[in-house]
């Protein structure tokens, strides 16, 4: 197992590719746009997903939505056209699990297998190996690609049957949304109360009220610098909609999550989708995030 084919070399895929190469894997990559970064890092660029599958021992994909996953796997030049029997495809996109299941079944018909392995963490967490991968699917397939999972980025956990990886990410992102909205309200309250915001940050960082989001996004909210965005709202929002479907499917009332999602929905309606999730601070405060886009 030396050649890993990566489809999707964006903010998450490219640092994953670098991590793999640093661990001794050869990487063949495909992106709809040019990818000089991969060549510069020592990888090989393929002309299509089919060309990636023809050369790789293991496949990995991380793309924006279900349509993209369908196209790269089942399309005219998709991986299924050249898939070698026994190839395991690590699919890391966060999409509706029913759609991903159908794509997995298509891969199995060709003699391969596809795993549901979403990754939890911002792009900035991938390179230093701080992101977590939730691997789900056939255990034998997971074990077959264990060295690749070890190399992707930080810790990974086997969550069980196919689809449990996505559901685990729903839990993580439900908390992400709630914690971000709560941190925004707390920062606005501190600001309007006339408190020293740096002192507030330092004090809460070491208190029972702290969260990873407070520590990471609190300084961003304090300075109101939303761009460039390590985690844009447009990336999070489709996952929030999947969470809505999931909780509706189990009949669970989630008033706190619903309130938090409303804050993000309003931010998107205001045209802030490309800004960092921390900009919901301005949804709470009534300010315009568009007036403070760039980091100083």
**Cα–Cα nearest to 107, from 164, 58, 149, 67:** 58
Tell me if residue 279 falls in helix, strand or coil. helix
Contact 236, 253 (CB under 8 A): no
C-beta atoms surrounding 207 within 10 Å:
9
pLDDT tens-digit readout, 117-134: 999 988 888 999 999 999
Q: What is the pLDDT of residue 152?
A: 94
Mean pLDDT of 231-244: 95
Tell me if residue 157 falls in helix, strand or coil. strand
State which H helix or E strand residue 228 sits in: none
Contact 38, 45 (CB under 8 A): yes
Contact 118, 88 (CB under 8 A): no
Mean pLDDT of 33-47: 90
Q: What is the pLDDT of residue 32?
A: 85
Q: What is the pLDDT of residue 293?
A: 53
What the chain holds in terms of domains, given with CATH numbers, is 3-161 (3.40.50.720), 167-291 (1.10.1040.10)
100 is catalytic: no
pLDDT of 296 strictly over 50: no
pLDDT tens-digit readout, 197-213: 999 999 999 999 999 99
pLDDT tens-digit readout, 209-229: 999 999 999 999 999 999 888
Please identify which of the residues 169, 215, 261, 266 carries the catalytic annotation.
Answer: 169
Strand 58-61 versus strand 3-7 pairing type? parallel
C-beta atoms surrounding 132 within 10 Å:
19
pLDDT tens-digit readout, 65-88: 999 999 999 999 999 999 999 999
Which two structure tokens, joined as six digits, stand for 176? Answer: 């992400």
**Cα–Cα nearest to 239, from 64, 48, 3:** 64
Is the alpha carbon torsion for 95, 247, 160, 211 positive or negative? positive
How far apart are the C-alpha atoms of 54 and 31, rounded to whole Å? 16
pTM over 0.75: yes
């Amino acid at each position: 197992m030396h050649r890993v084919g990566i489809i999707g070399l964006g903010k998450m895929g490219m640092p994953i590719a670098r991590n793999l190469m640093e661990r001794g894997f050869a990487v063949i990559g495909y992106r709809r746009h040019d990818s000089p970064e991969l060549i510069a890092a020592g990888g090989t660029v393929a002309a299509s997903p089919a060309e990636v599958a023809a050369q790789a021992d293991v496949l990995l994909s991380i793309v924006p939505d279900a349509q993209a996953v369908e196209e790269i796997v089942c399309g005219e030049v998709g991986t299924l056209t050249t898939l070698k029997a026994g190839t395991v495809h690590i699919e890391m996109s966060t999409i509706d699990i029913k759609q991903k299941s159908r794509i997995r079944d298509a891969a199995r018909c060709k003699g391969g297998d596809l795993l549901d392995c979403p990754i939890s963490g911002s792009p900035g967490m991938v390179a230093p190996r701080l992101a977590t991968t939730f691997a789900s699917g056939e255990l034998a397939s997971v074990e077959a690609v264990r060295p690749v999972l070890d190399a992707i980025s930080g810790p990974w956990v086997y969550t069980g049957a196919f689809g449990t990886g996505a559901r685990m990410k729903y839990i993580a992102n439900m908390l992400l949304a709630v914690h971000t909205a709560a941190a925004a309200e707390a920062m606005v309250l501190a600001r309007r109360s006339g408190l020293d915001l740096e002192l507030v940050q330092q004090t809460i960082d070491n208190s029972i009220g702290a969260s990873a989001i407070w520590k990471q996004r609190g300084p961003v909210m304090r300075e109101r610098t939303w761009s460039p965005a390590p985690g844009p709202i447009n990336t999070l929002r489709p996952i929030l909609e999947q969470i809505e479907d999931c909780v509706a499917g189990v009949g669970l009332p989630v008033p706190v999550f619903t309130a938090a999602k409303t804050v993000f929905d309003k931010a998107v309606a205001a045209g802030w989708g490309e800004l960092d999730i921390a900009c919901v601070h301005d949804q709470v405060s009534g300010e315009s995030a568009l007036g403070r886009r760039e980091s100083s």
